[in-house]
Amino acid sequence: MGYAYATGKGVAQDFRESFRWFSKAAQQGDPNAEYELGLFYLLGRAVPRNESRASEWFSMSARKGITAAQCALGFMYSKGQAVRRDLAQAFALQHEAAQKGFAQAQNEIGVMYLRGEGTARDPVEAARWFQAGAQQGDTDAQNNLGYLYDIGLGVKRNPNEAVRWFKAAADIGDPVAQVNLGGMYSKGRGVPLDYVEAYKWFSLAASHNLPIAIPAREGLSSIMTPRQLSAAQSRISAWQSRQAPVTETNPQERIV
């Protein structure tokens, strides 16, 4: 019932009622419910935001092997968020979840390898984990992998592959990937030069209030013709009409 009330499937969406049902299940030791309660407290949904309570519920769930909880708790350890910052513990939690195939953790462990946090710096290993997460559709991993291909770090430089992965994430609505993809079109790197397409992606990223996207869009508009700007607006409207809403998940890391 907790999931039903949280998603509004079969009943009216009611986060307070969802919290009540998850609380009942968590008190009986259900590890998935424990994770869900952690999210409620982390996001301040139906209850006041309380990161300490979130970490407690994530810890209980993580000890029982729930990968989403391991990933969320690992993120909190990496940032010192309501717990003492411990990169070794963060790495261990993310690595366990990543090995079990949890895509968000695969992105996180890639970031830690790239930065040398909790482990020796290893861009090749970072790329391997980004690839694993990207293939499962994780947008942060796709964007991060695209970045590595764009600059040739941990992989052989390949602008075409960079575009491929930026586009995979941009198409789902990731604003960082959208501005990165816009940059590729504006420079003709990995794709033919296309100011109309570049403007479209910069504008979509700007609609998420991504700071870097706004000057990128305005700078490009100054060299575009009215016809090109009109064509870009048509493409933006067409893309937005097909876009599905994005749901909230664990916090994640981006490298660019």
pLDDT at site 8: 82
Quick: pLDDT tens for 89-122. 999 999 999 999 999 999 999 999 999 999 999 9
Burial of 38: CB neighbours in 10 Å, binned 0-12, 13-18, 19+: buried
C-alpha 169: how far from chain center: 9
CA 137, 213, 199, 144 dihedral sign is: negative
* Ordered domains of the chain (ranges, CATH): 1-64 (1.25.40.10), 175-243 (no CATH)
pLDDT at site 252: 57
pLDDT at 254 exceeding the cut of 70:
no
pLDDT at site 71: 97
Claim: this prediction has a pTM higher than 0.95 = no
Mean pLDDT of the chain: 93
DSSP per-residue codes, 160-210: HHHHHHHHHHHHHT-HHHHHHHHHHHHHTSSS---HHHHHHHHHHHHTTT-
The pLDDT > 90 percentage for the chain reads 86
- Which pair of tokens denotes residue 3? 């999931």
248 band by pLDDT with thresholds 50, 70 and 90: very low
Q: Is 50 helix (H, G, I), strand (E, B) or coil?
A: coil
pLDDT at site 145: 98
pLDDT at 256 exceeding the cut of 70:
no
Quick: pLDDT tens for 74-95. 999 999 999 999 999 999 999 9
